[in-house]
Amino acid sequence: MTIGLGKMQKIRLAYDISPLGLYFSWPDSKTGIYRVAEEILYELLEEDTLDITLMGLCGEALAYTNVGCQKYFINRKEGEKTNINFGKAEFATSYKSRLNIKWLYSILYGRYFSKRFQKKSKKSLESLLVRAPLKAIELTKLERFDTYRIFDPTQYDLLHSTYFKVPPRELTQDIPRLITIYDLIPLTAKEFVDPNLNSYFFETINSIDHHKDWVTCISEYTRQEFCDYTGFPKERTFVSYLGADSAFGIIDDKYQIDSVRQSYGIKSSNYFLCLASHLDPRKNIFHLIKTFVRLIRENPRLDVSLVLIGTLRFQRRDVEAAFQEFADYMEQIVFTGYVPDADLNTIYNGATAFVFPSLYEGFGLPILEAMQAGVPVISSNSTSLPEVAGDAAILVDPKDETALCQSMLDVFRDDDLRQQLSQKGLVQARKFSWKKCAGQTVEIYREILDRNL
């Protein structure tokens, strides 16, 4: 049992960064859960009340995850973001090899996670020399047989899993454990998720001890849904709201906006913008495209485009269907692919309005980013989005094509409405920040430890 901590005594935190280790070498995966885990980490590193040890304890493929996490840690520590205090943190390897072949995993996975390797052709000699043994490891299930978790609970006051299921209690013993729950999409909206993720998320839920573990959610909506679905005691849950990165803000340089816009093939200076990371079906992209085409058909003189930002690395049937059904209008619909934050902020700034008709969100971070950039927001009125948008956005039923079409037309034509929404959005966005989120998280740590006496 944890001894009570004084207000000034540092918390020895084991912070699991498995999501960061798994995806840091793929720039177009640095959205959603990845962004949350990293932004909170950046702010926690500024907290003088924490001694932070980073680890890949909660991921499934232990060697793969740990090598990725260590690569992430070294990459950040060496100064990709020089203003982040990674020198304060340590990294602890969380696995051992029965066959003493950690060196092999380190070489193979280390190469695989390198940015230089990701850019190489799969047919190159180096790629074949790395991918062939990795495939052999996968087929033989060697890593699963060979590796096992290690963790010394006496070295920490608390374990925080930023996404993956918590380890067996035999390993962590009586140390308090906190897990972040972002949404319940894999359980309550299964049609939007790969069946493998549904199965894993069910395991994650089952790994949480209703009597000893703690849960933090990114919205009150997610918290309530989690408790309703699982029967988890609400008094063991918390809410820590997310925030938009300070990189998002107002840009007054019209030349910069036009230059970046054109570099992504956005020809019109009037455009509705939607950010949909992986263009997931739950983002309601087909509905948005259909509504936009209706808007153009009913108002043929309207000079406006629809810009959709999200990686094109994954095939999406609804997007392909839109290409086929609305082929005649595709010149006014732009798919940019993945856009890094610096350019994304500029594209936000050039938008007539940000339109986000998502069917399900655990929080809805993009609407905060848009608001922080001073962009009028039209959002879905479902799930957590009203909680985040407040009265600073036009909220519509995500299945109501007529309402969305009219809202887009109103915002496009009404300068005063755009100005009002922009000002309200700036005020609303200031209610949220990563610094506040991290502060709430530290308070959660302290409350858990106080209540764990």
Q: Are residues 190 and 213 in the same domain?
A: yes
Tokens of residue 392, six digits: 């600073």
pLDDT number for residue 113: 83
| Closest to 322 (Cα-Cα) out of 276, 375, 380, 390 | 276
| Closest to 96 (Cα-Cα) out of 137, 134, 143 | 143
Q: Are residues 330 and 384 in the same domain?
A: yes
- The DSSP output letter for 2 is P
Mean pLDDT of 302-323: 77
Parent domain of 207: 11-243+434-451
CA-CA distance, 401 to 404, in Å (whole number)?
5
Indicate whether 119 pLDDT > 80.
Answer: no
Domain-embedded: residue 71: yes
CA-CA distance, 436 to 309, in Å (whole number)?
28
Q: Are residues 424 and 438 in the same domain?
A: no
Domain-embedded: residue 249: no
Three-class SS state of 306: strand
pLDDT band at 1, cuts 50/70/90? very low
Mean pLDDT of 211-233: 96
Mean pLDDT of 3-25: 81
Domain-embedded: residue 1: no
Helix (H) or strand (E) holding 23: helix 18-23
| Lowest pLDDT segment from 2-6, 30-34, 63-67, 438-442 | 2-6
Mean pLDDT of 218-236: 96
Domain-embedded: residue 248: no
Indicate whether 195 pLDDT > 90.
Answer: no
Domain-embedded: residue 6: no
- In the predicted model, what is the mean pLDDT of the chain? 90
pLDDT number for residue 322: 67
Indicate whether 42 pLDDT > 60.
Answer: yes
Mean pLDDT of 283-301: 93
Please state the domain count of the chain: 2
Domain-embedded: residue 5: no
pLDDT number for residue 111: 86
From the CB of residue 162, how many other CB atoms can be counted at a distance below 10 Å? 23
| Environment class of 80 (CB within 10 Å of its CB; exposed 0-12, middle 13-18, buried 19+) | exposed
Mean pLDDT of 270-297: 90
CA-CA distance, 350 to 257, in Å (whole number)?
6
Q: Are residues 144 and 238 in the same domain?
A: yes
Amino acid at 18: S
pLDDT number for residue 2: 44
Mean pLDDT of 324-339: 85
CA-CA distance, 161 to 179, in Å (whole number)?
5
Q: Are residues 197 and 82 in the same domain?
A: yes
The separation between CA 328 and the C-alpha centre of its own chain, rounded to angstroms, equals 34
Indicate whether 179 pLDDT > 50.
Answer: yes
Q: Between the ranges 115-119, 185-189, 341-345, 382-386, where is the mean pLDDT highest?
A: 382-386
The residue with greater pLDDT, 201 or 178, is 178
Q: Are residues 36 and 174 in the same domain?
A: yes
pLDDT number for residue 452: 81
Amino acid at 364: G
Q: Are residues 227 and 199 in the same domain?
A: yes
| Lowest pLDDT segment from 281-285, 326-330, 373-377, 448-452 | 326-330
Indicate whether 101 pLDDT > 60.
Answer: yes
Domain-embedded: residue 411: yes
∠ at Cα 176 (170, 180), nearest 5°? Answer: 105
pLDDT number for residue 324: 73
Concatenate the DSSP letters of all residues of 366-425 into one string: HHHHHHHTT--EEEE-STTHHHHHTTSSEEE-TT-HHHHHHHHHHHHH-HHHHHHHHHHH
Asked if 198 and 189 touch (Cβ cutoff 8 Å), the reply is no
pLDDT band at 448, cuts 50/70/90? very high
pLDDT number for residue 14: 98
Q: Are residues 439 and 358 in the same domain?
A: no
CA-CA distance, 382 to 376, in Å (whole number)?
18
pLDDT band at 45, cuts 50/70/90? very high
Domain-embedded: residue 181: yes
CATH of the domain at 79: 3.40.50.2000
Q: What is the pLDDT of residues 337-374, one digit of tens each?
A: 889 888 999 999 999 999 999 999 999 999 999 999 99
Three-class SS state of 303: coil
Mean pLDDT of 163-179: 96
Mean pLDDT of 149-173: 96
Q: Are residues 224 and 105 in the same domain?
A: yes
Phi-psi domain of 284 (left: phi exceeds 0; alpha: psi -120 through 50; beta: other): left
Residue 273 CA: distances (Å) to CA of 58, 155, 294, 403: 36, 48, 16, 17
Pairing of the two strands 50-55 and 177-181: unpaired
Q: Are residues 77 and 157 in the same domain?
A: yes
Q: Are residues 152 and 230 in the same domain?
A: yes
pLDDT number for residue 123: 67
CA-CA distance, 101 to 94, in Å (whole number)?
15
- The radius of gyration of the chain's CA atoms, rounded to the nearest angstrom, is 23
Pairing of the two strands 271-275 and 305-309: parallel
Q: Are residues 169 and 45 in the same domain?
A: yes
Q: Between the ranges 195-199, 300-304, 309-313, 402-406, where is the mean pLDDT highest?
A: 402-406
pLDDT number for residue 412: 97
pLDDT band at 79, cuts 50/70/90? low
Helix (H) or strand (E) holding 290: helix 285-298
